[in-house]
Amino acid sequence: MKAFMDRDFLLSTETAKHLYHDFAAPQPIIDYHCHLSPQEIFEDRKFENITQVWLGGDHYKWRLMRSAGVDERYITGDATDREKFQKWAETLGLAAGNPLYHWSHLELRNYFGYTGALNGDTAEEVWQLCNEKLKELSARRLIVNSNVKALCTTDDPADSLEWHKKIAEDGSFGVKVLPSYRPDKALGIEKEDYVNYLARLGTIRSFAELAGALKERLAFFVSLGCRVSDHGMESVPYAEATEAEVEAIFRKRLAGEIPSALEQKQFKTALLLELGREYHRLGVVMQLHFGVIRDNSHRVFRALGPDAGIDSIGDQPSIKELAAFLGALDDTDELPKTILYSLNPNDNAALVTVMGAFQTGEAVGKVQHGSAWWFNDHKAGMVEQLTTLAADGYLAGFVGMLTDSRSFLSYARHEYFRRILCELLGSWVENGEYPNDDKALRTIVEGISYKNAERYFGLAE
Ligand SMILES: [Zn+2]
């Protein structure tokens, strides 16, 4: 029997151990998509206790606790932090096979030096240990200790980016903290507060003015080092319309009328195409996140708002529309570097083949299949994403892992990913399916762990 989560956790062969310890582990981290607060980084936030770090905003943990029958009072309610930690420890202790089990224990090992197993019985000793260690830890120290070279936060175009500016001006922090451009609200024409949102972008009287304002904001983001944009949606839309039709749809919305479903799609297509061309012109990577159904429990949504652990995988992504959208940009050779993420793993093979149709010499893996995302961010999901990408695409060009997290402890997810990658590659070598060629293996492992992302996002010094 192997020891519990020891040095060779998830590594079952000599080749896998060699690839991980000698090639993957020493590589720094580029976290090109996360939801950390730049304000907390600038102010170098400290945390009073482990509940604040772990349970403060982590809806992955909230839904696991609900699944274990824990009362909401101990999740997002008014129980004390110690009481909440107890319920979390009891929940986690039995969560065999859940990635939160592995992530949490990697975090306990890497940041707090705790090598035991957290459960209801050990909760008190872990609580004491973590809170003692947290006195020496802070947002910046956690990032630096994790060997992070650059991280990309997620920001609205209307954001002043004040905290990014302050971090850059301050100059004392050696890690690049770059904004990402996420204009979901500008695309959300069906939303009730849409017109109020537009006011945040300036005086907008037409679709042309909206596109102009968004491009101006994008240029501002780029001036502060932005390398990547992000779009979240149920599915990637594609419906053609003339310029005049799009202007008419937009004016209708300004007048207070909600456009029809087709009109919404036409508007979104037109705006996404405008943005896509601009991303291409400025060398900004376009990320498309789709396949999600958000806020399924209206009851919880009313109490807690979005990102409360009530989302799910959807079945709506239209591969045909996605391909048409990418094709429209590719038509004039204005398709930016693009990363596709579907929350529905059934889409993986289709996505990888759509990507293959649009690859060019512009970049290694110009169109990427994003790493296993959210509900797929576990061992089986990662193996499935890596295997599909290898079979129908070019695994060696993959830009690899990101945390997509709100927590400063989540860098352990990069370690988790690298171990799974090395175990998979190692198994192919051990099985005689790929040669034991150290030079090539090193290129692949270092590339996927770090170097591909550095090149792809243009982050080399
Ligand atoms: Zn995200």
Domain ranges of the chain: 14-46+139-456, 47-137
- CA 290 to ligand 1 centroid distance, Å: 11
What does the pLDDT read at residue 392? 96
What does the pLDDT read at residue 317? 74
- CA 22 to ligand 1 centroid distance, Å: 30
Of 180, 133, 195, nearest to 409 (Cα)? 133
What does the pLDDT read at residue 159? 98
- CA 221 to ligand 1 centroid distance, Å: 18
Q: What are phi and psi of 86, to 5 degrees?
A: -60, -45
How many other CB atoms are found less than 10 A from the CB of residue 362? 11
- CA 231 to ligand 1 centroid distance, Å: 9
- CA 286 to ligand 1 centroid distance, Å: 13
- CA 407 to ligand 1 centroid distance, Å: 12
- CA 74 to ligand 1 centroid distance, Å: 26
- CA 289 to ligand 1 centroid distance, Å: 8
- Residues 71, 63: Cα–Cα separation, whole Å: 11
- CA 15 to ligand 1 centroid distance, Å: 33
- CA separation (Å) from 378 to 183, 348, 401, 454? 28, 15, 12, 24
Ligand 1 is an ion; residues with CB less than 5 A from it: 404
- Residues 66, 82: Cα–Cα separation, whole Å: 18
- CA 232 to ligand 1 centroid distance, Å: 8
What does the pLDDT read at residue 57? 87
- CA 374 to ligand 1 centroid distance, Å: 9
- Residues 414, 410: Cα–Cα separation, whole Å: 8
- CA 34 to ligand 1 centroid distance, Å: 6
- For residues 335 and 344, is the Cβ–Cβ distance under 8 A? no
- CA 439 to ligand 1 centroid distance, Å: 34
- CA 274 to ligand 1 centroid distance, Å: 22
Across the beta sheet with 338-342, the strand order is 228-232, 285-290, 338-342, 367-369
Q: Top-level CATH class of 47-137?
A: mainly alpha
- CA 456 to ligand 1 centroid distance, Å: 19
- CA 219 to ligand 1 centroid distance, Å: 22
- CA 137 to ligand 1 centroid distance, Å: 25
What does the pLDDT read at residue 171? 87
- For residues 4 and 117, is the Cβ–Cβ distance under 8 A? yes
Altogether, the residues listed in the chain come to a count of 461
Q: What are phi and psi of 228, to 5 degrees?
A: -150, 145
- Residues 130, 108: Cα–Cα separation, whole Å: 8
Q: What are phi and psi of 250, to 5 degrees?
A: -65, -40
- For residues 176 and 150, is the Cβ–Cβ distance under 8 A? yes
- CA 145 to ligand 1 centroid distance, Å: 23
- CA separation (Å) from 326 to 322, 358, 359? 6, 8, 11
- CA 33 to ligand 1 centroid distance, Å: 6
- CA 404 to ligand 1 centroid distance, Å: 5
Indicate the pairing of strand 312-313 with strand 292-293: antiparallel
What does the pLDDT read at residue 316? 77
End-to-end CA distance of the chain: 45
- CA 182 to ligand 1 centroid distance, Å: 10
What does the pLDDT read at residue 177? 98
Identify the DSSP state of 259. Answer: P
- CA 158 to ligand 1 centroid distance, Å: 18
14-46+139-456 CATH, one of 3.90.25.10, 3.40.50.2020, 3.40.50.2000, 3.20.20.140: 3.20.20.140
- CA 123 to ligand 1 centroid distance, Å: 30
- CA 406 to ligand 1 centroid distance, Å: 9
Q: What is the pTM of this model?
A: 0.97
State whether the Cα torsion 272-275-280-283 is positive or negative: negative
- For residues 157 and 231, is the Cβ–Cβ distance under 8 A? no
Secondary structure of residue 391 in the 3-state scheme: helix
How deeply is 252 buried, as exposed, middle or buried, from its count of CB atoms within 10 A (0-12, 13-18, 19+)?
middle
Instruction: Please give the biggest Cα pair distance in the chain.
Output: 69
pLDDT tens for the 461 residues of the chain, in order: 999 999 999 999 999 999 999 999 999 999 999 999 999 999 999 999 999 999 988 999 999 999 999 999 999 999 999 999 999 999 999 999 999 999 999 999 999 999 999 999 999 999 999 999 999 999 999 999 999 999 999 999 999 999 999 999 988 999 999 999 999 999 999 999 999 999 999 999 999 999 999 999 999 999 999 999 999 999 999 999 999 999 999 999 999 999 999 999 999 999 999 999 999 999 999 999 999 999 999 999 999 999 999 999 998 778 999 999 999 999 999 999 999 999 999 999 999 999 999 999 999 999 999 999 999 999 999 999 999 999 999 999 999 999 999 999 999 999 999 999 999 999 999 999 999 999 999 999 999 999 999 999 999 86
State which amino acid sits at residue 394.
Y
What does the pLDDT read at residue 461? 67
Of 321, 337, 185, nearest to 240 (Cα)? 321
